[in-house]
């Protein structure tokens, strides 16, 4: 279905990640209105109560705010969005470091390899950089 | 959240033995609940007791405080495991009957869903495929504005694309304070829309838990949990 969710992990946590990613990547702009809980639940094919819970947590983190009667909006606080962006990037890097360590790579080897692959990929236009 | 349905020491004995024994269960309003269990665990028996098609051997079931009867039937929309509609009827005629019978039936909703699933209202049931007949029945049941929907294996006979549409239909069409009780073996297909599961085994309550709690505590999907618990 529309959202690719993993049934082995709590759904609300995955919804939070997905909306964070949509905000950071510019799918939603600061100040944009979010669809209603019901609409989002249908789009994602998830339980509306679960969607509600995820949005409440996003609200508590400050990334989303709600205005009585008019709905939920993406924060206009771009520093908050930058912070989340850095946090998401950090998680990705940590995950990569962990895997490289499992493969027996040192920090220097990892950095050298990264540099090399980045250059190659840029040259071959295989990544959008 | 208020209690919508309560079973107290509910038992049902058939000639061959106990189908349900001493079941105690409370369901709240505003939830989507999966009714799971291996074949013969008592799912259909429970749904029939809730809908007054069977009488308990002992114990009781109450819906909003009432035992099954005229009042509960006006607030419960039930999709049985076998059809009771006459194959000779056209969809339009069945819709008329439902509208006549149930004060909470919403005609426009039914016609809208038929159109979405490309079903001709002028067609007779007997000329339709099994899957299409099942879709028609589910549309009829979901077109009521009920407090409790009891769906006995609603998606078993339909193709995966229609299954997706049906699940979205369920999500779109129930009021926030209504509860949907779905019995199914197709756990993977529906688990993301559930709030909680009620698992039966040999006529007894094996587990009642929130699906997110199960994922958090056990780190597995509901489908995987079911396969592990009931491994043959």
CB-CB under 8 Å, B215 with A10: yes
CATH number at residue A39: 1.10.10.10
Fold (CATH) for B3-38+62-229: Rossmann fold (3.40.50)
Contacts of B215 in chain A (CB under 8 A): 7-11
Candidates B172, B188, B194; nearest CB to A47 = B194
CB-CB under 8 Å, B195 with A1: no
Residue B28 contacts A, CB cutoff 8 Å: no
Residue A5 falls inside a structural domain = no
pLDDT in tens, A29-48: 999 999 999 899 988 999 99
Contacts of A11 in chain B (CB under 8 A): 192, 211-212, 215
pLDDT in tens, A54-90: 999 999 989 999 988 889 999 999 998 999 999 999 9
**B179-183 sheet: strands from edge to edge:** B76-79, B148-152, B179-183, B32-36, B196-201, B204-210
- Three-state DSSP class for residue A114: helix
Same-domain status, A20 and A67: yes
Same-domain status, A68 and A92: no
Whole-number Å distance between alpha carbons of B114 and B122:
11
Same-domain status, A38 and A51: yes
Same-domain status, A15 and A70: yes
Same-domain status, A56 and A88: no
Same-domain status, A19 and A62: yes
Closest A-chain CA to B175: A38
Residue A99 falls inside a structural domain = yes
pLDDT in tens, B94-147: 999 999 999 999 999 999 999 988 999 999 999 998 888 988 999 999 999 999
CB-CB under 8 Å, B222 with A45: no
Same-domain status, A114 and A85: yes
pLDDT in tens, B17-69: 999 999 999 999 999 999 999 999 999 999 999 999 999 999 999 999 999 99
- Is residue B1 predicted with pLDDT exceeding 80? no
Q: Which residues of B159-170 are buried (b: 16+ CB within 10 A; e: fewer)?
A: eeebbbbbbbbb
Tokens of B78: 């039930």
Closest A-chain CA to B161: A1
Same-domain status, A119 and A105: yes
CB-CB under 8 Å, B212 with A48: no
Same-domain status, A51 and A85: no
The whole-number pLDDT of residue A102 equals: 96
Note down the domain range covering A17: 11-76
Percentage of chain B beyond pLDDT 90 is 76
Residue A65 falls inside a structural domain = yes
Is residue A1 very low, low, confident or very high in pLDDT (cuts 50, 70, 90)? very low
User: How many CB contacts within 8 angstroms connect chain A with chain B?
Assistant: 53
User: A13: distance to nearest CA of chain B, Å?
Assistant: 10
DSSP state letters, chain B:
--EEEEEEEEEEEETTEEEEEEEEEEEESS-EEEEE-STTSSHHHHHHHHTTSS--SEEEEEETTBPSSHHHHTTEEEE-SS--S-TTSBHHHHHHHHHHH-TTB-HHHHHHHHHHTT--TTSBGGGS-HHHHHHHHHHHHHTB--SEEEEESTTTTS-HHHHHHHHHHHHHHS-TT-EEEEE-S-HHHHGGG-SEEEEEETTEEEEEEEHHHHHHHH-S-HHHHHHHHT--
Same-domain status, A22 and A71: yes
Candidates A9, A38, A46; nearest CB to B193 = A46
Same-domain status, A16 and A72: yes
Whole-number Å distance between alpha carbons of B27 and A54:
23
Candidates A8, A10, A47; nearest CB to B193 = A47
Same-domain status, A47 and A30: yes
Residue A107 falls inside a structural domain = yes
Segment (H or E) for A85: helix A78-102
Token pair 């073996």 in the structure block, residue: B185
* Number of folded domains that form chain A: 2
pLDDT in tens, B153-207: 988 878 888 888 888 888 887 788 899 999 999 999 899 999 999 999 999 999 9
The whole-number pLDDT of residue A128 equals: 60
Phi, psi at B19, each rounded to 5°: -90, -35
DSSP state letters, A16-53:
HHHHHHHHHTTSS-TTPBPPPHHHHHHHHT--HHHHHH
- Is residue A110 predicted with pLDDT exceeding 80? yes
Residue A4 falls inside a structural domain = no
- ipTM for the assembly: 0.81
CB-CB under 8 Å, B212 with A10: yes
Residue A52 falls inside a structural domain = yes
Candidates B164, B216, B222; nearest CB to A7 = B222
Q: In this structure, are residues B156 and B186 in contact, taking their beta carbons and an 8 Å threshold?
A: yes
């Amino acid at each position: 279905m529309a959202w690719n969710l993993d049934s082995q992990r709590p759904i609300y946590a995955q919804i939070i990640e997905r909306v964070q990613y949509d905000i950071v990547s510019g799918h939603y702009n600061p100040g944009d209105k979010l669809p209603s809980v019901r609409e989002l639940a249908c789009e994602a094919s998830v339980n509306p109560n679960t969607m509600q819970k995820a949005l409440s947590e996003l609200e508590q983190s400050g990334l989303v705010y709600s205005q009585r009667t008019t709905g939920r909006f993406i924060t206009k606080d771009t520093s908050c969005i930058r912070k989340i962006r850095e946090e998401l990037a950090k998680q990705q890097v940590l995950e990569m470091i962990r895997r490289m360590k499992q493969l027996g790579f040192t920090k220097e080897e990892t950095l050298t390899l990264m540099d090399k692959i980045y250059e190659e990929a840029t040259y071959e236009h295989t990544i959008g950089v | 959240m208020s209690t919508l349905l309560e079973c107290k020491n509910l038992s049902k004995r058939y000639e061959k033995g106990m189908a349900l024994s001493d079941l105690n269960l409370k369901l709240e309003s505003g939830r989507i609940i999966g009714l799971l269990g291996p074949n013969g665990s008592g799912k259909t028996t429970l749904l029939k007791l809730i809908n007054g098609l069977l009488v308990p051997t002992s114990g009781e079931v109450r819906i909003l405080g009432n035992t099954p009867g005229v009042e509960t039937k006006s607030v419960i929309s039930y999709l049985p495991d076998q059809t009771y509609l006459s194959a000779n009827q056209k969809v339009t005629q069945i819709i008329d009957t439902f509208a006549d019978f149930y004060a909470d039936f919403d005609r426009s909703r039914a016609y809208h869903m038929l159109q979405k699933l490309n079903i001709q209202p002028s067609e007779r049931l007997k000329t339709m495929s099994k899957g299409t007949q099942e879709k028609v029945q589910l549309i009829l049941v979901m077109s009521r504005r009920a407090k409790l929907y009891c769906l006995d294996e609603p998606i078993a006979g339909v193709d995966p694309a229609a299954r997706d549409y049906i699940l979205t239909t369920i999500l779109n069409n129930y009021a926030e304070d209504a509860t949907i009780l779905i019995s199914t073996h197709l756990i993977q297909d529906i688990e993301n829309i559930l709030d909680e599961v009620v698992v039966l085994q040999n006529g007894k309550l094996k587990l009642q838990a929130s699906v997110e709690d199960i994922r958090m505590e056990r780190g597995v999907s509901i489908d995987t949990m079911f396969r592990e618990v009931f491994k043959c």
